[in-house]
Amino acid sequence: MGKGDETRQTILSQAAQVFSTHGYFGTSLDDLMQATNLTKGGIYNHFGSKEALAVEAFEFGAGQVRERFQALLAGRPRNTRSRLLALVEQFHSLIETPLFAGGCILLNTAVEADDTNPVLRDRARYFADEWRGFITRTLNKGLELGDVRPGIDVEAAATIIIAALEGGIMLSKLYDDPEHIRRTARHLEQYIESLLRPENPT
């Protein structure tokens, strides 16, 4: 990695933290200059605009979230139950051992950008698609393997799991209390069990 690339990665890492707490509109150029220890020119030398930086910082953050999930999956059996529980643990970990001070960048970006910034909203949609896709693929594979109850609504399960996790994170952040995401995770563990065939535990 050249010096320019390293600087760029450092800016993205620091910008991702600032955007995660202050949001896109709440982050000023001053905030970004302070976080990165760069001048305005130093930032704009690497990124053409605040929006361009926000988009790349979101993707940088998403990459870090993906890396944590890959590491989490790597230590687990590859069966249906284990993979779905790993996803619950992944979102739970964003409160217990945060990657970003602001909690979940998907939640923050989705809620802020949905009505105001189609570019950031689309990035959040793609990221949400990834998580929903992980759930639907895992459940469809589980149906093939006979692990999953036939007739369940795979798309509905993906919505329910992601919705409950994001809402649990929202409440834990609002009250500064991890109990909310813990309760949500316990509920989802039971819900996931209800999707699986009890006669064929994996």
CB of 124: closest distance to a second copy in angstroms? 6
Q: Does 108 bind a second copy (CB under 8 A)?
A: yes
Near a second copy by CB under 8 A, which window of 56-64, 67-75, 77-85, 185-193?
185-193
**Helical spans, DSSP H, in 2-117:** 3-26, 29-36, 40-46, 50-74, 80-96, 105-113
* Closer CB to a second copy, 112 or 147, in the complex: 112
Q: Is residue 168 within the footprint of a second copy (CB under 8 A)?
A: yes
- What CA–CA distances, in Å, run from 26 to 108, 166, 202? 12, 21, 47
Position 61 contacts a second copy (CB under 8 A): no
Is 121 a binding residue for a second copy by CB under 8 A? The answer is: yes
Q: Is 160 in the site for a second copy (CB under 8 A)?
A: yes
99 binds a second copy (CB under 8 A): no
Q: CB burial class (10 A; 0-12, 13-18, 19+) of residue 70?
A: exposed
**Considering the rule CB under 8 A, would residue 159 count as an interface residue with a second copy?**
yes
Residue 170 touches a second copy, criterion: CB under 8 A = yes
Considering only CA atoms, which of 133, 137, 119, 138 is closest in space to residue 59?
Answer: 119
Residue 166 lies near a second copy (rule: CB under 8 A): yes
Q: What are phi and psi of 196, to 5 degrees?
A: -95, 155
How many other β-carbons are positioned within 10 Å of the β-carbon of residue 168?
25
Q: Torsions phi, psi of 148, nearest 5?
A: -110, 145
Residues that bind a second copy in the complex, under the rule CB under 8 A: 21-26, 101-103, 107-108, 110-112, 114-116, 121, 124-125, 128, 153, 155-156, 159-160, 162-168, 170-171, 173-176, 179-180, 183-184, 186-187, 191
